[in-house]
Amino acid sequence: MNAKITTFLNSGLLEKYLLGETTSVETEKVESFISKYPEVQNAYNTLQHNLEVVAKMNAVEAPQGILNNILDELDEAPVVELNVKRSYKKWYKFSIAASVAALLFAGTSYIFYNQNQKLSKENQVVVDEIFDLRSDIAKNNAMLDNVMRQLLRLNNPETEKYIINGNERAKDLKTVAYINPKEKTSMIDVVSLPELPEEQCYQIWAELQGKMVSLGILDKADRKLKNIPYMEDALALNITIEPKGGNSVASTENSVAEINLQ
């Protein structure tokens, strides 16, 4: 497509011509382009088709009962006799015309009333959607804020990173712990956890001066960065296999991963 045709199509003259808003000079120019260039002809046909589609979408169909009601009213009036007997007074003819006009006005009013009701419902839908959208935006902003806070913690020079790999009992186990002793925060990223029977679970512990303190249960559904309790002066982190729901005392014989923090 050459630059001349592109410039013409971008000028908006074709749309104005289709809507009957061009001047005589513009009309002559548009019709000349349509006849000379197949690209313009195709664009014109496409615009015409789209206009027809839009017109059909926005067309308003009259209520089904309106026409029948008007015809019934006309049937009740002595229209035939008016054409035969010309002795009826003129005011009677005017009254018939006024009745028809009133019926047409009532039908039109009914159509507009339905349109207004439909628009009111559509407006309410739009308001509800805007409210939901604002709610979603607020939730997304909160999530984004949480992610940014986590990233700031990870990028903090004071944050120490510990990669915890599984032993022979759980070779595919891998988690990453992020501990910041200055801000006293701890996070863990569950990278992979081998499958366990339904009656068992993984539990992470902090070793503190000869005792094990639970930091929570690890689940493969938690494959994301999550906060865990910070333990001052923890010597090590340990992951064990425990009964489903966790245990109050660590089963050190079922240890599957361990890393020293000192």
In a domain, 140, yes or no: no
**Residue range of the domain that includes 105:** 64-133
Which residue stretches of the chain have pLDDT < 70? Answer: 1, 50-110, 112-113, 144-155, 222-223
pLDDT of residue 133: 76
In a domain, 152, yes or no: no
Q: Are residues 46 and 111 in the same domain?
A: no
Q: Are residues 173 and 252 in the same domain?
A: yes
pLDDT of residue 258: 93
Contact 187, 225 (CB under 8 A): yes
Q: Are residues 26 and 102 in the same domain?
A: no
Tokens representing residue 260 in the block:
């020293």
- Give the separation between CA 163 and CA 180, rounded to whole angstroms: 15
Q: Are residues 110 and 184 in the same domain?
A: no
Q: Are residues 83 and 123 in the same domain?
A: yes
In a domain, 104, yes or no: yes
Q: Cite the DSSP H helix spans in 37-89.
A: 38-58, 64-76, 79-84
In a domain, 50, yes or no: yes
Q: Which of 36, 58, 80 is the last residue of a domain?
A: 58
pLDDT of residue 243: 94
pLDDT of residue 89: 41
pLDDT of residue 69: 61
Q: What is the 3-state secondary structure (H, E, C) of 80-145?
A: HHHHHCCCCCHHHHHHHHHHHHHHHHHHHHHHHHHHHHHHHHHHHHHHHHHHHHHHHHHHHHHHHH
Q: Are residues 209 and 242 in the same domain?
A: yes
In a domain, 8, yes or no: yes
Tokens 């067309």 correspond to 59
Q: Are residues 176 and 102 in the same domain?
A: no
Q: Are residues 52 and 69 in the same domain?
A: no
- Give the separation between CA 46 and CA 208, rounded to whole angstroms: 76
Q: Which of 17, 43, 58 is the last residue of a domain?
A: 58
pLDDT of residue 45: 87
Q: Note the pLDDT tens digit of each residue in 205-224.
A: 999 888 999 999 998 776 67
Coil vs helix vs strand at 51: helix
| Number of domains the chain is built from | 3
Contact 219, 173 (CB under 8 A): no
Dihedral class, residue 105 (left if φ above 0, else alpha if ψ from -120 to 50, else beta): alpha
Tokens 């070779």 correspond to 171
Q: Which of 58, 87, 102 is the last residue of a domain?
A: 58
Residue 44: Cβ within 10 Å count: 19
- Edge-to-edge order in the sheet of strand 255-260: 211-218, 200-208, 236-243, 255-260
In a domain, 141, yes or no: no
Q: Are residues 21 and 109 in the same domain?
A: no
pLDDT of residue 101: 57
Q: Are residues 47 and 111 in the same domain?
A: no
Question: Please, what is the end-to-end C-alpha distance for the chain in angstroms?
Answer: 72
Q: What are phi and psi of 191, to 5 degrees?
A: -85, -50
In a domain, 138, yes or no: no
- Give the separation between CA 262 and CA 251, rounded to whole angstroms: 22
In a domain, 169, yes or no: yes
pLDDT of residue 232: 87
Q: Are residues 25 and 78 in the same domain?
A: no
Q: Are residues 169 and 212 in the same domain?
A: yes
